[in-house]
């Protein structure tokens, strides 16, 4: 299997307009969910685990969004 690596400028050429704004809205929604999970995690260890996992996902999303925005 052959994989191709993409440079940031290559990716930006194929990213549809409005993607950065969509990523920001998704990030804001994840922040709200994380707040709810944080409160609920005081009562449930499994909720704490979900909070930790979702926090990592949000971190990666925010990193990707910042790379898209910084290249504009």
Which pLDDT score is estimated for 50?
Answer: 95
Which pLDDT score is estimated for 7?
Answer: 64
Q: Which residue range(s) make up the domain with 49?
A: 8-70
Which pLDDT score is estimated for 40?
Answer: 93
Question: Considering its fold, how many domains does the chain have in total?
Answer: 1
User: CA-CA distance, 26 to 67, in Å (whole number)?
Assistant: 16
Unique residue bearing structure tokens 């009562």:
43
Contact 58, 30 (CB under 8 A): yes
Distance, CA of 32 to chain centre: 13
Q: How many residues does the chain have?
A: 72
Q: Is 2 among the domain residues?
A: no
Q: Is 54 among the domain residues?
A: yes
Query: What is the residue-level pLDDT of the chain in tens, covering all 72 positions?
Result: 566 666 655 555 677 778 888 989 999 999 999 999 999 998 999 999 999 999 999 999 999 888 877 655
Which pLDDT score is estimated for 68?
Answer: 78
């Amino acid at each position: 299997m052959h994989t191709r690596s993409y440079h940031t400028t290559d990716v930006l050429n194929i990213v549809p307009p409005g993607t950065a704004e969509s990523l920001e809205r998704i990030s804001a929604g994840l922040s709200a969910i994380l707040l709810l999970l944080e409160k609920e995690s005081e009562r449930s260890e499994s909720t704490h685990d979900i909070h930790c996992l979702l926090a990592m996902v949000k971190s990666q999303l925010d990193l990707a969004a910042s790379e898209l925005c910084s290249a504009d």
